[in-house]
């Protein structure tokens, strides 16, 4: 019996294919061979082999739409200095998990181990710690939401002076430690959306409190982000059938008051806002089922408001 671990396929076939594809994309972006080598953690000679086609690649991986899109996204992020090594790993590991779940890695594995054919093998995905998986899912959603916000030109003008944050809670979240958000918040840095670090659990106070007040009434409203209150954005929400909920700007018992307001409304609307107070900037919150959902809706509202 031939014995081969799926991890061997990842190392021997997936990784060389990903590196070759990424080298080609970065070359097209105008990177030098040495810059590509430094980024990929290989020698310049290896990059030269990638470019000349001397390195064997797995065509089932290279031709897969998900692989192509992931590599293009990584290359664009690196070229624009909008993606760090952690984000690259997140993208590639997410793709590996997809490929291991009845995907092309499975196909290669069954080819190498014929005894697996027809068994519906799911060893790569079975028995995953559900709690850890949920945490990864939440962190990934917040990370992707920040990229979406960074890519939208309309977001910069909507960032409050106190900063923006986007957060997402774990299912059944009890406190702020169960909510992932961006440490240090998102700011306008010389006309660009600046995301200072990767999301962490327990990194938010106000956005986390707002989310927890919402999930106490509607468990599906697990994510939110904050914007500057703008009447044009509120009108855009109304045009989409959303009735924004206005609440008091005061901080005392704020989350309890929010939860009470949601219960009185009988639902958690996708948009809530306040008009500020002495020393308190007017803020609007946009909710979603996921951080990506909230970010996408916020960008839609901002684009509509901008005309």
pTM for the predicted model, two decimal places:
0.62
3-state secondary structure of 240: coil
- Domains (range + CATH), the chain: 6-116 (no CATH), 141-306 (3.40.225.10)
Q: How far is CA 275 from CA 186, 249, 286, in A?
A: 21, 7, 15
Q: Largest Cα–Cα distance of the chain, in whole Å?
A: 75
Q: What is the pLDDT of residues 214-271, one digit of tens each?
A: 999 999 999 999 999 999 999 999 999 999 999 999 888 999 999 999 999 999 999 9
pLDDT on residue 181: 97
DSSP track, 123-188:
TTTTT--HHHHHHHHHHHHHHHHHHHHHH-GGGGGG--TT-B-EEEEPTT--SGGGEEE-TT-BEE
What are 117's two structure tokens?
């054919």
Those residues with Cβ within 8 angstroms of residue 61's Cβ, 6 or more apart along the chain or in another chain: 13, 14, 17, 18, 67, 99, 104
What are 296's two structure tokens?
């996408």
pLDDT on residue 122: 66
In the block, which residue shows the tokens 């899912």?
A: 137
What are 280's two structure tokens?
């308190």
Burial 289-303 (b: 16+ CB within 10 A, else e): ebbbbbbbbbbbbbe
Q: What is the DSSP letter of 280?
A: B
In the block, which residue shows the tokens 């990059």?
A: 47
Closest of 226, 213, 223 to residue 260, by C-alpha: 213
Compute how many other C-beta atoms are within 10 angstroms of the C-beta atom of residue 233.
24
Query: Where is 193: in which H helix or E strand?
Result: strand 192-194
Q: How far is CA 12 from CA 4, 5, 60, 105, 125, in A?
A: 11, 11, 14, 11, 20
The Cα–Cα gap between 264 and 238 comes to 20
In terms of phi and psi (left: phi > 0; alpha: psi -120 to 50; beta: otherwise), the region of 276 is: left
Q: How far is CA 120 from CA 31, 60, 102, 107, in A?
A: 43, 19, 8, 11
Cα 28 → chain centroid? 26
Listed as ranges, residues in the chain with pLDDT below 50 are: 127
Contact in structure between 264 and 221 (CB atoms under 8 Å): no
């Amino acid at each position: 019996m031939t014995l081969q671990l799926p991890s061997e396929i990842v190392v021997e076939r997936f990784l060389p294919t990903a590196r070759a594809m990424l080298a080609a994309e970065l070359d097209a972006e105008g990177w030098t061979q040495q810059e590509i080598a430094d980024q990929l953690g290989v020698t310049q000679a290896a990059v030269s082999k990638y470019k000349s086609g001397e390195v064997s690649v797995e065509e089932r991986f290279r031709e897969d739409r998900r692989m192509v899109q992931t590599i293009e996204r990584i290359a664009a992020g690196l070229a624009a200095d909008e993606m760090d090594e952690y984000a690259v790993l997140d993208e590639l590991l997410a793709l590996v998990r997809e490929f291991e779940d009845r995907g092309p890695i499975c196909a290669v594995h069954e080819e190498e181990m014929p005894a697996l054919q027809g068994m519906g093998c799911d060893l790569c995905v079975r028995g995953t710690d559900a709690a850890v998986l949920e945490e990864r899912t939440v962190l990934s959603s917040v990370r992707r939401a920040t990229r979406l916000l960074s890519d939208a030109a309309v977001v910069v003008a909507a960032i409050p002076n106190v900063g923006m944050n986007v957060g997402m809670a774990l299912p059944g979240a009890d406190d702020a430690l169960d909510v992932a958000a961006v440490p240090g918040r998102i700011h306008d840095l010389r006309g660009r959306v600046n995301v200072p670090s990767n999301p962490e659990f327990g990194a938010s106070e106000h956005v986390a409190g707002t989310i927890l007040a919402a999930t106490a009434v509607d468990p599906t409203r697990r994510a939110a982000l904050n914007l500057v209150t703008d009447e044009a954005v509120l009108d855009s929400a109304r045009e989409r059938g959303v009735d924004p909920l206005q609440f008091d700007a005061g901080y005392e018992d704020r989350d309890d008051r929010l939860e009470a307001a949601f219960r009185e409304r009988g639902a958690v609307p996708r948009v809530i806002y306040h008009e500020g107070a002495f020393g308190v900037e007017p803020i609007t919150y946009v909710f979603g089922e996921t951080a990506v959902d909230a970010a996408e809706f916020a960008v839609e509202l901002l684009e509509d408001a901008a005309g």
